[in-house]
Amino acid sequence: VLIMETELWPNFLRECKARQIPVALVNGRISKQSFRRYKLIRFFLRRVLSSLSIAVMQSEMDTERLEVLGMPKERLFTAGNLKFDAEVAGGLRSKTEEIRTRFGLDTGAPLILAASTHANEEEIILDSVKQLGKVRLMIAPRHPERFKEVASLIQQSGLSWSRRTNPPAPNDTGATVILLDTIGELPATYELAHIVYVGGSIVDKGGHNVLEPAASGVAVVTGAHTHNFQAIVELMNEANAIVQLPPLEGCAAGDEVAHVFSKLLADPAGRAELGRRAKQLVTDNQGAANRTIELIAPLISSKPRANFDSILTANAHTS
């Protein structure tokens, strides 16, 4: 059994142990918030962790936290984050070119892409765009059920706009705002943007995946709330490969976002370097999948009801 990240179900794990079914925690992650909560039930959690054959963690910090919580050190490994190995969606070239042509995205005005946005973020981004002058904005809401709501917000903004799901129209090429109200097309738009803002991060939703735009070599901006991708955002900050906004509230949020966008747009060389470093970071951190496979291979290849000690010994040799 392979468990991803932190899906630790005590009864399920206990039954696996009773049946001598090897269980590996893969791409393991213990956030700062979870660690704080887990420490309150450390005695109970130690028993839960005893049902794991091995734990393959994303970072040294995750490994250290799980050891503090009671996971035996000899069963702990660090392999990196599997998300760095996720393939950028392929076969999208024709879709990219279709969107580029329909909306005239190579005609001068820079494009800001607001990806995976949540409630209240669209208003902030729209407000910032109003302050910037000659730019274009594409908004891709995180949840499809909000497409109609976001369309109404754009309409109320007074900015000219177009909707991806509407039939092509002559005003598409001049619309200031484009609503990407489709599913599955977002990855095709990253390379069209000059700046990508990754949503769920100005509002406290934990943020969304910054790696896809980073892998496309585009300048990435995110808000302060990124605990869902904490390790990745920390790496990107250390490499100066992302712009992370401070905590924002109220009417000042639009002003701060506009300031950051304006600064990036005014510095093409700096923006390009930001994107280059982001893309290089993704490339440099790939390989977690192969390391993880090497660690769990003895579990997968072992016969049913295998002895855990022999599995751990095999893993020790592969690490």
* pLDDT at residue 306 in the model: 45
Give the containing element (helix H, strand E) for 297: helix 288-301
Looking at per-residue pLDDT, the higher value among 70 and 317 belongs to 70
Percent of the chain with pLDDT strictly greater than 90: 76
Q: How far apart (Å, rounded) are the C-alpha atoms in residues 108 and 111?
A: 9
Pair of tokens at residue 53: 């054959």
pLDDT at 106: 86
Say what the pLDDT of residue 316 is. 55
**pLDDT band (50, 70, 90) for residue 133:** confident
Which is nearest to 137 in space by CA: 118, 120, 159, 116?
159
Q: How far is CA 62 from CA 2, 13, 27, 58, 69, in A?
A: 17, 20, 10, 6, 11
pTM, 2 dp? 0.77
Which conformational region is residue 316 in: left (phi greater than 0), alpha (psi within -120 to 50 degrees), or beta?
alpha
Quick check: 124 and 98 in contact, CB under 8 A?
no
Per residue in 153-165, pLDDT (tens digit) is 999 999 999 999 9
Model pLDDT for residues 243-273, shown as the tens digit of each residue? 999 999 877 899 999 999 999 999 999 999 9
